[in-house]
Structure 1
Amino acid sequence: MVKLRGRLQTQKMADLPVDRLTPMPPFTSVGLDVFGPWTVTTRCTRGGSADSKRWAVLFTCMSTRAVHIELIETMSTSSFINALRRFFCIRGPAQILRSDRGTNFVGACNELQIDHKDTELNSYLQEKGCTWLFNPPHSSHMGGSWERLIGVARRILDGILLKAVHVQLTHEVLSTFMAEVMAIMNARPLVPVSTDPDKPNLLTPAMLLTQKVNALSAPTGSFGPPDLYSKQWKQVQCLADSFWKQWKSEYRSTLQQRRKWTDDKTNIKVGDVVLLKDALAHRNDWSMGKVVRTFESKDNKVRKAEVKTVKDGNEKVFLRPITDMVLLLSSDK
């Protein structure tokens, strides 16, 4: 009965990590993700044009909530290191890089041939005094502080650039467009709009980065679909206008606070028998396993664990969040 009707495990929501609350320069602690690719025209030939692909690395500051985007040209670790180098040169060195192991990021890393265990990459990060931390697989909610921004931006960008598939984008146009996207995202309010007339200004990531109250204004004029086939600067403004309209409609709906995971729950323990959730399989086909290792947070709450399963005589160990587990039998019984 528990196997068919048992609920997935939950735990009280953890306190914010120290790097979210400690006063530090912007982009000292960073969450990142890779998305794309998009096709750009690199050179024109007599028979048409030569195209190549571009990807983007989106960095979001854990404390100021600001974002930074860097384009990647080639599928190599060296190209990714170059993007990190440009990011560090502009924003200063980071101490912590955070990312998830979701299919989007892992797939992008595989496509870009980026290995977080790569000796060249690790030696570069070590020289910069930087640490790369990964969340456990299937636990995107643990990176909600940057996943929401990245998810909304990625959906809008993919939708806009998909509509402009017949437009010949150049690297310069795409690079300028990403700068416009950064400006729009960094101009969003960090706190609810105040009705106090003595507080007319809204706190935004751009204010924390530039120390300037007024946001960058867009060029005057009306830009529509015909401008996609006009001058390059008009192409950029047309794409930026489209991003701004969708950003307002999709991002605002995410600002509503959701209250959940407010109660303490019994921790998963070593020796517990659990059912592992598999979104691609029927519940009757979910694997049964035994918890072999737990990971306690600073508040002594277990939110992820390693589970050993046996299938067809083969043993496997999976690292999973407890939200993907159904407790079948406690080791205490």
Structure 2
Amino acid sequence: MEFIQVLRRFLAFRGCPKVITSDNGKQFVGAQKELQEMIKGYDQKQLQEFCADKGVEWKFTTPLAPHQNGCAESLVKSCKFALKKAIGGQTLTPFELYTCLVEVSNLVNQRPIGRLPNDPDDGSYLCPNDMLLGRASTTVPQGPFRETKNPKHRVEFVQRIVDAFWKCWNRDVFPLLVPRKKWNVERRNVRVDDIVMLSDPNTVRGNWTLGRVIHVYPGSDNKIRNVKVKTAKGVYSRPITKIVIIYPAEGFDNEL
């Protein structure tokens, strides 16, 4: 199965996970059955290497209920849309497509998902790469590349596609980064000391601007619509539609 080959590549790069969660796609269900057959034929040492001592627990969401894995489904959908729009009708070689996919993967896994226990004003944040790599993320050098549309300049061609993906995905994914917490469902007001991410369509590829709310401006209905945010580079005034709360001032209820 092709998916088994993809899974083996993932394990080779990232290590063996304890749990895999997916929908009930036929390729995933078939992969689970084939994995079970493969594991039966392994000795103890091979089993430890393949399944990281305890094996892989594969969880499937309920059929016809994609909302049960809503966050992942939304992220995958946004990536597919942005990549399709970036490539358009252009033709890439398998090698060029692989380069695009690897760079896109790195960009997606650099998105902020929480804060680090550092100075809240230094702009640092926790991202999936920190956990996948076990260390701080590194940004892939972006150039300098020639500004050219010559199809023979394939390195620049691939980088233009990655740039186009970033601009489209950065715009569309912004609302998806709102943490799925109770305070968000209740439409909690933005508060002083909230750690937020600022929307910036002109930001450098792979960079996200985080800051701390230092002042809020309530309207006549006591709803906050504008805030002042302190970042590592300065203080900015923004409407709440241009910020996303990454970490609320009071913390999360289930925080360890």
Normalising by structure 2, what TM-score?
0.56
* Counterparts in 2 of 1:130 and 1:246: CA distance versus 1, 3 Å: same
Return the offset for 1:233.
1.6
In the alignment, does 2:135 pair up with 1:207?
no
* Counterparts in 2 of 1:220 and 1:204: CA distance versus 1, 3 Å: farther
CA contact (8 A) 1:189 1:203 kept: yes
Aligned to 1:142: 68
After TM superposition, list the pairs within 5 Å mapping 1:86-165 onto structure 2.
Answer: 86-101=9-24, 105-106=25-26, 109=27, 115-116=29-30, 119-124=33-38, 127=47, 128=51, 129-161=55-87, 163=88, 165=89
Aligned to 2:250: none
CA contact (8 A) 1:206 1:215 kept: no
Aligned to 1:182: 105
The letter for the 2-side match of 1:155 is F
Return the offset for 1:216.
2.7
* Counterparts in 2 of 1:125 and 1:169: CA distance versus 1, 3 Å: farther
2:30 aligned counterpart, secondary structure = coil
CA distance in 2 between partners of 1:151 and 1:132 (Å): 22
Larger gyration radius, structure 1 or structure 2 = 1
The letter for the 2-side match of 1:130 is V
After TM superposition, list the pairs within 5 Å mapping 1:31-70 onto structure 2.
Answer: none
More helix by share: 2
- Percent pairwise identity: 26
The letter for the 2-side match of 1:246 is C
Return the offset for 1:132.
1.9
1:211 aligned counterpart, secondary structure = coil
How many equivalent pairs are there?
Answer: 169
Return the offset for 1:212.
2.8
CA distance in 1 between partners of 2:177 and 2:59 (Å): 27
Aligned to 1:83: 6
Gaps of 5+ in 1: 1-76, 261-333
Gaps of 5+ in 2: 41-46, 187-256
Query: What whole-Å deviation, never above 9, does each CA across 1:207-254 have from its counterpart, x for those lacking one?
Result: 332523553332224657x25x23222221011000110111001122
Task: Supply the RMSD in Å over aligned alpha carbons.
Answer: 3.0
Normalising by structure 1, what TM-score?
0.44
2:101 aligned counterpart, secondary structure = helix
- Larger relative contact order, structure 1 or 2 (CA cutoff 8 Å, min sep 6): 1
